[in-house]
Amino acid sequence: MAGRIVVLISGSGSNMAALAEACRRGDVPGEVVAVFADRACEGISRAEGLGIDAHVLVFKDYASREDWSEALRDQVLKYEPDLVVSAGFMRIVSPVFVDAFPNRIINLHPALLPSFAGPHGVRDALEHGAKVTGTTVHIVDYEVDHGPILLQAAVPIEKDDDEASLHERIKEREHRLLPLACRLMLEGRVRVEGHKTLIEEA
Ligand code: GAR
């Protein structure tokens, strides 16, 4: 049976769309059953165009991060997800959300963690003068951009790169890395031991 995937987004949703397409092709044994955003964004109309249930829970409409996280948790739980994927979701969720999906939330970050954590991973790597950056998929714990690393891919920084050109190349890489991470998770091949993940060979 196809694993049920819920995707959290805040932006263009290109990774969500790449994941939905990988599921459709049969590269991932799952289905994107719903998309949630914390703001109106391009990714929501993209999800609707793909025939996926899409919801916006505007962060500022709630009295606190806790209230918003609880509302998001309750809405996501209705979809009974096997996997929750944060793909360009630019909000920090409270532990009440994380606790509802233990070791079943993964986050995509546009840098090689633990370098350049935080909301400006691409810009920070560029400004630091790094020669290589990349992308990370990790399991979500209570700390931002911190949980056990599942997969990483390197992307060289070219000398005439700006934030947009570099981010575009990182995203191209992410569009393949994220589906692979979802496949490993849904096939039950990922074991978490402390801060490490162990991936079972196929
Ligand atoms: C992706 O590059 C993802 O790694 C990044 O946002 C982009 C979303 O693109 N995530 C973060 O910066 C999280 N801190 P998309 O909306 O086109 O999938």
Whether 202 is in a domain gets the answer no
Whether 72 is in a domain gets the answer yes
CA 22 distance to own-chain centroid: 15
Residue 24 has a pLDDT of 98
Binding pocket residue ranges, ligand 1, CB within 6 Å? 9, 11-15, 43, 87-88, 108-110, 119, 121, 135, 170-171, 174
- The residue whose CB lies within 8 Å of the most ligand 1 atoms, and thus the one to mutate among 42, 145, 171, is 171
Query: Which atom of ligand 1 is nearest the CA belonging to 109?
Result: 4
Q: How many CA atoms lie within 13 A of 44 on its CB side?
A: 13
Nearest C-alpha to atom 11 of ligand 1 is from which residue? 88
Residue 185 has a pLDDT of 98
Instruction: Confirm whether 55 is a catalytic residue.
Output: no
Residue 191 has a pLDDT of 97
Angle between helices 163-186 and 14-25 in degrees, nearest 10: 40
Residue 13 has a pLDDT of 98
Long-range contacts of 68-72 (CB under 8 A, 24+ apart): 68/38, 69/93, 69/94, 69/96, 69/97, 70/94, 70/96, 70/97, 72/36, 72/97
DSSP conformational letter for 92: P
The CATH number linked to 183 is 3.40.50.170
Between CA 83 and CA 172, with CA 188 as vertex, the angle to 5 degrees is: 60
Whether 66 is in a domain gets the answer yes
Whether 96 is in a domain gets the answer yes
- The residue whose CB lies within 8 Å of the most ligand 1 atoms, and thus the one to mutate among 123, 133, 168, 174, is 174
Residue 202 has a pLDDT of 83
From residue 159, alpha-carbon distances to 64, 123, 126, 131 in Å are 43, 14, 10, 9
Whether 115 is in a domain gets the answer yes
Cβ-proximal residues to 81 (8 Å cutoff; 6+ apart), any chain: 4, 5, 6, 33, 34, 101, 104
Whole-angstrom Cα distance, residue 101 to residue 7? 13
Residue 80 has a pLDDT of 98
Whether 198 is in a domain gets the answer no
Query: Which atom of ligand 1 is nearest the CA belonging to 108?
Result: 4
121 alpha carbon – ligand 1 mean position (Å): 10
Cβ-proximal residues to 160 (8 Å cutoff; 6+ apart), any chain: none
pLDDT tens string, the chain, 202 residues long: the values are 799 999 999 999 999 999 999 999 999 999 999 999 999 999 999 999 999 999 999 999 999 999 999 999 999 999 999 999 999 999 999 999 999 999 999 999 999 999 999 999 999 999 999 999 999 999 999 999 999 999 999 999 999 999 999 999 999 999 999 999 999 999 999 999 999 999 999 8
Selecting among 55, 109, 167, 175, the annotated active-site residue is 109
Whether 183 is in a domain gets the answer yes
Whole-angstrom Cα distance, residue 76 to residue 63? 19
Whether 197 is in a domain gets the answer no
Number of residues in the chain: 202
Domain of residue 123: give its range.
Answer: 3-188
Cβ-proximal residues to 198 (8 Å cutoff; 6+ apart), any chain: 190, 191, 192
How many domains does one find in the chain? 1
